[in-house]
A and B are shown apart, each in its own frame.
Chain A
Amino acid sequence: MSTTITYRQAIIRGLSDAMDADADVFLLGEDVGAAGGAFKLTDGLFDRFGPKRVFDTPISEQAIVGAAIGAAASGLRPVAEIMFGDFAAVCFDQIANQLAKYRYMTDGQVAVPVTIRMATGAGAGFGAQHSQPVENWFLNVPGLKICVPGTPADMYGLLRAAIEDPDPVLIFEHKHLFNLKGEVDDTPAPARIGEAEIVRSGRDVTLVAIQSMRHRAVSAAEQLAADGIEVEIIDPRTLAPLDLPAICDSVDRTNRLIVVQEASASGSWGATVVAEVLSRRFESLDAPPLMVGGDDTPIPYARPMEDAWLPSVERIVASVREVVAF
């Protein structure tokens, strides 16, 4: 049995179920308590669980993440919210130098089961400092796990998995998907961090995309199917660990690869996928891999500029045609 809920509701349900299941789980962040979160992502949780387990912090990202690290090292299960992923820059040291390395530097004396939730992504006119897809900032920091759910079911499943994970997990909640509806099982099976989903099978090209781009890819695939081009869409769902075997197996079948991402190409997960497929599956490729992504600029504000910045369905369709025509 399943229910149709929104991505936002999946977050709230995931947090609520996690707190029911484990008394050591607690939520902290700016306005997550009585206000229910800047995007209403923790709505109702303060009323249900009270101020001991759901509480507000000052605007102090370093203090928020540091408190989570120390609490986790003491055996608790903190879930810290950084309101916008862009703000991770404010506490980058806590995430990259402390959280990611505490277990390693102490040779396992300390465990840090911290979950950090961050709102990500462009398309809502928030401007250059509130719109970035920041998952790529952390790709080159060993010791972190990175989740990028694109559906309500994945949002619920990966959030539960992140909170139960003994290691630090960053989970990015896409702003454009908060109202997206989808089926979530009433008693969902635990999600596995590091497992991609084949969203759509197809013989002509492997298209790898996450979050809002995954949904645009689905629209593009429907258009292309009318012309007899069948796109196989892979949603990695997590970027660290990355399910390269699933992507490589798909390229073995389709012989063509496109990566579609919001962020620009330099130092991105998309570029990593292209490099890895080239090196592992050179013989399988019948065409050069293509990367479709945001421009190499900060994100502009005016609607026509932001829309042009983001890969559109039209741009995705055109790039598939290009790869298939090679």
Chain B
Amino acid sequence: MLDHDLETPLTDSSEEVDQLRAMWEIRFFEEECQRLFAEGLVGGSTHLCQGQEAVVVGTARALRPGDKMLCTYRGHGAVLAMGAPLDRCFGEIMGKAEGVCGGKGGSMHLTDTSVGAYGSFAIIGAHLPIANGFGFAARYRGTDEVSACFFGDGTANIGAFHEALNLASLWALPVIFICENNLYGEYSPIASTTAIARLADRADSYSMAGEQIDGNDIGVVRAAVEAAAARARAGEGPTLIEALTYRHKGHSRSDPATYRPAGELESWLKRDPITLLEDALEGSGVPREQLDEVREGAERAVVEALERARAWSEPDPDLRLRSVYA
């Protein structure tokens, strides 16, 4: 059983306070996205990541400028964690011309290469072979950049996952495969779709370093990714990290998640990664008032970013013809 205290003692509280801010911004951003959908300002569907903030922020803080990150359609948090601007991410989700992708991509394809966020991908598993390519390029050029990719537990059963892990291990590519195991692939609990219980065990099949970690303990996440990155930079190859976590909301906008057993959500809410970090910071001497200010500042930043984005115009429809080719 996962316990309620953080495993890794806090060493630098100012960095952790900033991590808390980043997690709050993601949390408020996702809450606003939910409201935007209810208002009819966003098309298609949305896949929110409340409850999984520690995995993405912990990872982003373990990477260096020049490292590459790829994620899934549940990727708002990952892209924000890498440093993409709140307003332009809202803009993209609302289909504004000023969105990070000019309104061409939408929620499922948030990309900001200026901060190392090299794409959100909407086909399960497809970006894992692509992450290998980024790792390959670093090795080809003799640099020590790593590429990190996020994906869910459902991805562990699709072909591209297996092809990518085999190749990454065979070629000792500097890739960090981070599986956000939130126990459900869409509406299906993992036990109903997956022949093994512990996804990290699949690393053994590919002769790769692998570990299962508490994805809601940001210090643990950061340490695990730092260690994987160090291995990768030293030429020791890829790592599969299975980060146990939980999503507070359904798979997508239309999913009320009634397939979850009674009490499961409540027990995971007690292990909310934000609460865990706040408690740890308070325990290490950070005043509650300061923590409240961090939360309020994050909320303000998100609200102001949304206001700016709402005022932006939609793209000229003729721009749909741009960027098919160079």
- Residues of chain A touching chain B, judged by Cβ–Cβ distance below 8 Å, are 26, 52, 57-58, 60, 62-76, 78, 93-94, 97-98, 102-111, 142-143, 145, 166-167
**B residues in contact with A52, CB < 8 Å:** 140
**B residues in contact with A78, CB < 8 Å:** 133
Q: Is the CB of A67 within 8 A of B322?
A: no
How far is it, in angstroms, between the C-alpha of A68 and the C-alpha of B160 when the chains are bound?
A: 14
Minimum-distance CB pairs A-B, first 4 = A70-B133, A66-B129, A74-B137, A166-B326
Minimal beta-carbon separation of A175 from chain B (angstroms): 26
Asked, given contacts A97-B123, A106-B104, A106-B119, whether A66 binds B140 with beta carbons under 8 Å apart, the answer is no
- Most chain B C-beta atoms within 10 Å of own C-beta, residue among A70, A71, A93: A70
Asked, given contacts A76-B140, A109-B111, A110-B118, whether A62 binds B159 with beta carbons under 8 Å apart, the answer is yes
Which of B161-169, B245-253, B256-264 interfaces with chain A?
B161-169
Q: Is the CB of B166 within 8 A of A63?
A: yes
**A residues in contact with B121, CB < 8 Å:** 98
How far is it, in angstroms, between the C-alpha of A68 and the C-alpha of B131 when the chains are bound?
A: 10
How far is it, in angstroms, between the C-alpha of A106 and the C-alpha of B112 when the chains are bound?
A: 8
Minimal beta-carbon separation of A103 from chain B (angstroms): 6
Minimal beta-carbon separation of A116 from chain B (angstroms): 13
Minimal beta-carbon separation of B148 from chain A (angstroms): 12
Q: Does B46 contact A (CB under 8 A)?
A: no
Q: Is the CB of A67 within 8 A of B323?
A: no
**A residues in contact with B163, CB < 8 Å:** 58, 60, 62-63, 66
**Which residues of B137-169 are within 8 A (CB) of A?**
137-138, 140, 147, 159-160, 163-164, 166-167
Q: Is the CB of A105 within 8 A of B105?
A: yes
Q: Is the CB of A105 within 8 A of B111?
A: yes
Q: Is the CB of B118 within 8 A of A73?
A: yes
Asked, given contacts A60-B166, A98-B121, whether A69 binds B102 with beta carbons under 8 Å apart, the answer is no
How far is it, in angstroms, between the C-alpha of A71 and the C-alpha of B111 when the chains are bound?
A: 17
Q: Is the CB of B119 within 8 A of A57?
A: no
Q: Does B132 contact A (CB under 8 A)?
A: yes
The range of chain B's interface size is 35 or more
Q: Does B128 contact A (CB under 8 A)?
A: yes
How far is it, in angstroms, between the C-alpha of A70 and the C-alpha of B133 when the chains are bound?
A: 4
Q: Is the CB of B326 within 8 A of A103?
A: yes
**A residues in contact with B164, CB < 8 Å:** 62-63, 66
How far is it, in angstroms, between the C-alpha of A73 and the C-alpha of B323 when the chains are bound?
A: 15
CB contact between B129 and one of A63, A76, A102 (< 8 Å): that residue: A63
Beyond A109-B113, A142-B324: 20 further Cβ-contacts under 8 Å? Answer: A62-B159, A63-B163, A63-B166, A66-B128, A67-B129, A67-B130, A67-B132, A67-B133, A70-B129, A70-B131, A70-B147, A73-B130, A74-B137, A75-B137, A78-B133, A93-B160, A104-B323, A105-B109, A107-B101, A110-B113
Q: Is the CB of B137 within 8 A of A94?
A: no
**B residues in contact with A93, CB < 8 Å:** 123, 126, 160
**A residues in contact with B90, CB < 8 Å:** none
How far is it, in angstroms, between the C-alpha of A57 and the C-alpha of B167 when the chains are bound?
A: 8
Q: Is the CB of A110 within 8 A of B119?
A: yes
- Most chain B C-beta atoms within 10 Å of own C-beta, residue among A72, A75, A93, A106: A106
Q: Is the CB of B133 within 8 A of A106?
A: no
**Which residues of B92-117 are within 8 A (CB) of A?**
101-105, 109, 111-113
Q: Is the CB of A76 within 8 A of B137?
A: yes
Q: Is the CB of B133 within 8 A of A94?
A: no
**B residues in contact with A67, CB < 8 Å:** 129-130, 132-133, 136, 167
Minimal beta-carbon separation of A291 from chain B (angstroms): 28
Minimal beta-carbon separation of A46 from chain B (angstroms): 16
**Which residues of B312-326 are within 8 A (CB) of A?**
322-326
Q: Does B134 contact A (CB under 8 A)?
A: yes
**B residues in contact with A69, CB < 8 Å:** 129-130, 133
How far is it, in angstroms, between the C-alpha of A62 and the C-alpha of B103 when the chains are bound?
A: 28
How far is it, in angstroms, between the C-alpha of A281 and the C-alpha of B112 when the chains are bound?
A: 46
How far is it, in angstroms, between the C-alpha of A80 and the C-alpha of B209 when the chains are bound?
A: 28
In the assembled complex, 18 residue pairs joining A and B whose CB atoms fall closer than 8 Å, in A order, are A66-B126, A66-B129, A66-B130, A66-B164, A67-B130, A67-B167, A70-B130, A73-B130, A74-B134, A75-B137, A78-B133, A98-B126, A102-B119, A103-B323, A105-B104, A106-B104, A107-B323, A111-B326
